[in-house]
Amino acid sequence: MSYWDTSALVKLYAREQDSMAFVSHAMNAPSKPVTSRIALYEAQATFQRKEAEGILPAGLAEELYGRLPTDVNRGERHLVELGIDVELEYGRVLNVCYGRRPPLFIRTLDAVHLASARVAGETEIEATDNRMREAAELLGFSLFPH
């Protein structure tokens, strides 16, 4: 079972050099990608940033973002909603990361993603962000890409 950080999830929509590996991984997985509701907000910002930087053509950010909620509504992506369960797990994630010596200085939204993955019972994290990957590994998740 796998949890998709926004850094990996956007590769299913905005084609990047390594997107096909993520598309293939998602297509061959036994279950649909799971992510937090915050990924919707992060993905929208990422698409707009890519468009503003000229990486995406004008107008494509809105189109790409529109596909994500559509996929959620069709059951192609599963969302972990923010609630007390994620909030409690978030504190545990922070305790593990900051309790390490030296501490792992995790970003707020990365900790929310990892807490969401734990609440969902996922065992693998799809992420390209190095700090996120380090925290996920510390918490006992397997990683993709390997």
Is the link from the previous residue into 69 a cis peptide, with omega within 30 of 0?
no
Least confident of 10-14, 28-32, 98-102, 112-116: 28-32
Say what the pLDDT of residue 42 is: 97
User: What pLDDT is recorded for position 123?
Assistant: 95
Query: 65: domain CATH number?
Result: 3.40.50.1010
Domain extent, residue 18, equals 2-144
DSSP-derived letter for residue 82 is P
Q: What is the pLDDT of residues 79-130, one digit of tens each?
A: 999 999 999 999 999 999 999 999 999 999 999 999 999 999 999 999 999 9
Instruction: Provide the token pair at 4.
Output: 């998709």
Please count the structural domains in the chain.
Answer: 1
Task: Look over the chain and give the mean of its residue pLDDT values, rounded to a whole number.
Answer: 95
pLDDT of amino acid 1: 66
Looking only at the bridges linking them, the beta strands covering 2-4 and 78-80 are: unpaired
